[in-house]
């Protein structure tokens, strides 16, 4: 079946550092979504990407939809303690498709 390979699986950084994570797949996606999950909560949408090459920012977060439509990255600049959590990429395989395929998640830990 379709899979998203998300890396790294975990990150341990100092407060103030920049963070970068990515997702790749052998399949072509029409939409990429990035979610964050805090402990005890459901995933919350951070950024949605709809076109190949699209670069979108949301505050300190920046994400891009790869030109090949098989990858996406998420960057967080100047990390702060509340950025701690698990970040998931998710993709939709075709326009109008409703089945999200999720990556395995990147667990971010920040040392103050």
Partner 1 sequence: DAGVIQSPRHEVTEMGQEVTLRCKPISGHDYLFWYRQTMMRGLELLIYFNNNVPIDDSGMPEDRFSAKMPNASFSTLKIQPSEPRDSAVYFCASSLGSPGNTIYFGEGSWLTVV
User: What is the closest distance, in whole angstroms, from the C-beta atom of residue 16 to partner 1 in the complex?
Assistant: 30
| Cα distance between residue 32 and residue 87, in whole Å | 13
Nearer to partner 1, 89 or 110 (CB): 89
| Cα distance between residue 71 and residue 79, in whole Å | 23
| Contact between 27 and 2 (Cβ < 8 Å) | yes
Nearer to partner 1, 2 or 68 (CB): 2
Nearer to partner 1, 31 or 64 (CB): 31
User: What is the closest distance, in whole angstroms, from the C-beta atom of residue 88 to partner 1 in the complex?
Assistant: 7
| Cα distance between residue 72 and residue 59, in whole Å | 18
| Contact between 18 and 76 (Cβ < 8 Å) | yes
Binding site for partner 1 (CB under 8 A): 31, 33, 35, 40-45, 48, 50, 88, 92, 95-96, 98-100, 102-105
């Amino acid at each position: 079946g379709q899979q998203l390979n998300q890396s790294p699986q975990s990150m341990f950084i100092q407060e103030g550092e920049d963070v970068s994570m990515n997702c790749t797949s052998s399949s072509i996606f029409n939409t990429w979504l990035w979610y964050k999950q805090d402990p005890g909560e459901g995933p919350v949408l951070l950024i949605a990407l709809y076109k190949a090459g699209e670069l979108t920012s949301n505050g300190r977060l920046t994400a891009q939809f790869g030109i090949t439509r098989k990858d996406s990255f998420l960057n967080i600049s100047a990390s702060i303690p509340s950025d701690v959590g698990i970040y998931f990429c998710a993709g939709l395989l075709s326009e109008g498709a409703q089945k999200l395929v999720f990556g395995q998640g990147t667990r971010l830990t920040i040392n103050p």
